Chains A and B, each alone.
Chain A
Amino acid sequence: MELIKTKIDVAGQERLSMSERETVFEARDVSVFYGNQRAIDSVNIDIYQRLITAIIGPSGCGKSTFIRTLNRMTDLVPSARLTGKLRYRGIDLYGPGVDAVEVRRRIGMVFQKPNPFPKSIYDNVAYGLRILGMKKDLDDRVEKALHSAALWDEVKDRLKDSALGLSGGQQQRLCIARAIAVEPEVILLDEPASALDPIATSAIEDLMHELKRDYTIVIVTHNMQQAARVADMTAFFGLNVTPEGSREGILVEYDKTEKIFTNPSDSRTEGYVTGRFG
């Protein structure tokens, strides 16, 4: 609760007025377990609409686990279990009757390694549209998605070619196009540029700034410069070693990106962003 108070104080000072922004995700005491092992412990965080929220932290701190709880991809791990409350626009994401398939349709995800289907460029983007019954104006929708992902000009003459022939950076933008084609409300990016070279990374970052106008974006990154460059808000996850010796991820600090990188409140955040550990 303390964290939230701090955040609102800071938010009042600048154009990023959090009190006026709609909260998209609201996590209250969210813990995730794999079997008996707790992966993240009591996370409290509010993620706001049409901002880019970055999640940073050392390896094994549960960043990816946390972002995967946001569209229930954690369901795919049979032993995974979530406690606490995680609300999406006020609805309990893990409440009774909530269908994970519908959740994922609204909350898209792009993964660490580009994972286009072994199909044509066109069919990669059209795949979700066809299955979800968005077949009207299919060509227009595909073109629009590829435009939004800043890929159209590079692929417009070879839409029928295999997506596997694209470069890594192009493949990742294709994955973004595929995700936004089905018109989600949120896009989750799990280290989207970690497998890419600096030029492709920069293209993805530019794209994120564009997408922010229409989408709420949450990005996990282990690259602090990237978080500093793209994110409005930054959450720093740290590692807590319990007396029994197991390692759990915790949310150490969550604030505006500028604050996290220039004047963090927590010494652990400061240590991490200044490169003293992690």
Chain B
Amino acid sequence: MTEPAFSLRTSGRLRRRQLVNKVMGALALGAALLAVSVLAIVVISVAIRGASALNLDFFTKNEAQGFNPTGGGVRFAIVGTAVIVGIATLIALPLGVLVAVYVSDLASPRFARITRLALDVTNGLPTIVIGIFVFTMVVASHGQSALAGSLALAIIMVPLIARSTEEVLLLVPTAQREASLALGVSRWRTTFSIVIPSAMGGILTGTTLAIARAAGETAPLLFLTSLGTNSTADSNPLHPLQSMTYAIFKYSNLADAGFQAKAWATAFTLMCFVLITSLASKLAMAHYRKKLGG
């Protein structure tokens, strides 16, 4: 056997190309690690700074009377956020699902495209703009209320719910719709009796994601319901209510370390809620997609 006249080993220019290859790979890895570590650093530092203020009173008591940085809790803010986001969900869920049904099952392809675009643009609107809109429409004439805040959050949630619902509605096999239609069942009845129940898991996870997003909103709530209100534990949606995000904002502006710890602790609580709900809903969605797809 004679030796071949060429070699398959690394040599010359190839050595340089492989070096470039390695460097680029390392840079990409570094960028990815940075992105992950930012999240880790934020979570850890917020946890450390808020830890001292986290105790049972923090969740169950309202703000202490007078200037008392260490006593009391943020129950008022948790209740406020729950009421505001809860009502926003009640408004946005049916609306979002109906929009999705329209886009996926009823609209002409052209109008469906326009609707989708509108949803995406709404989703991209700075939330402060939505806040200003609701302020002029509602608050300017009727005064601050939790309901006004809910309205703004609902505007933020509808496109999120509509888009994620549309996605799962499209995953429901055509064969299911056909089976129902072939029985002489009308279109909307098919949608509500067959398609939506099949897609329910996906709709709920999409909604959970939207809730997590809405709970973290600050800007639109500032001048609709939170700013300048006192910290009572009211839960009447017609009254202005505080929210967790506003409590963070307010406490972090106070000089005392006790209040600042409270700001961190509130941030930690809110962050945990958002992280857990979005993670859980993403996992549920992946599971659900697999189930429908298979």
Contact = CB atoms under 8 A, between A and B. Distances in A.
Contacts of B183: 104-105, 108, 127-128, 131-132, 178-179, 182
A117 B186 CA distance: 16
Interface in B152-209: 173, 175-176, 178-187, 189, 193-194, 198
23 contacts: A71-B182, A73-B178, A78-B109, A101-B186, A104-B181, A104-B182, A105-B184, A109-B178, A111-B178, A113-B175, A115-B173, A115-B175, A115-B176, A116-B179, A117-B179, A118-B198, A131-B183, A131-B185, A131-B193, A132-B183, A132-B184, A178-B183, A182-B183
A117 B194 CA distance: 8
A102 interface: yes
A219 B196 CA distance: 31
Interface string A210-221: 000000000000
A104 B175 contact: no
Contact of A109 (B182, B186, B187, B198): B182
Interface of B: 108-109, 173, 175-176, 178-187, 189, 193-194, 198
B15 to A, nearest CB: 54
Interface pairs A-B: 9 shortest CB-CB = A105-B184, A115-B175, A128-B183, A109-B182, A104-B184, A115-B179, A101-B186, A131-B185, A101-B184
A76 B181 contact: yes
Contact of A182 (B181, B184, B194): B184
Contact of B184 (A78, A115, A116, A128): A128
A233 B108 CA distance: 40
Contacts of A175: 179
A38 interface: no
Interface string A170-184: 000001001100100
Nearest to B185: A131
B185 A115 contact: no
Interface in A179-234: 179, 182
Given A127-B193, A131-B189, A102 B184 contact: yes
Interface in A103-161: 103-106, 108-109, 111, 113, 115-118, 127-128, 131-132
A199 B182 CA distance: 27
B180 A179 contact: no
A28 to B, nearest CB: 25
A78 B187 CA distance: 14
A76 B178 contact: yes
B168 to A, nearest CB: 14
